[in-house]
Structure 1
Amino acid sequence: MDERQFGPWRKSTRSGGADNCVEVATGPDRQIGVRDSKNADGGILVFTPGEWAAFVEGVRNGEFDL
């Protein structure tokens, strides 16, 4: 997937402006791109809207809490 198809890239306001977090952007067909802010040219992970929604729901429900 061509990274130029995604944008604008956003990161959490909780990151405090640091470069040690992930960024997300919307791309073609509402796909969600995720990349490492420290390595913006290092590639992206791409998720469908359904996959992203399931992930966000899991985070909200504490599914990934340690």
Structure 2
Amino acid sequence: MNIITERLLLAYAILVGRLEDREERGASMTEYAILVAVMAGIVLALVTLLGGKISSFISGINITT
């Protein structure tokens, strides 16, 4: 086998490997939606649990100069 054929087969194998890996890489839109929903749930739970403390803290701030 000559060097040119060998290099072409190697380049083809690398290209096919990269195309196969591309399907498995990265997060899908569904995964991002689940992540956003979990984060929103955490924020909602924190606001519910700490709502009174946050409200009293904000009420205690004097904004007049």
Question: Normalised by the size of structure 1, how large is the TM-score?
Answer: 0.25
**Which of structures 1 and 2 has the larger relative contact order (alpha carbons within 8 angstroms, sep 6+)?**
1
Report the TM-score when normalising by structure 2: 0.25
More strand by share: 1
Larger radius of gyration: 2
More helix by share: 2
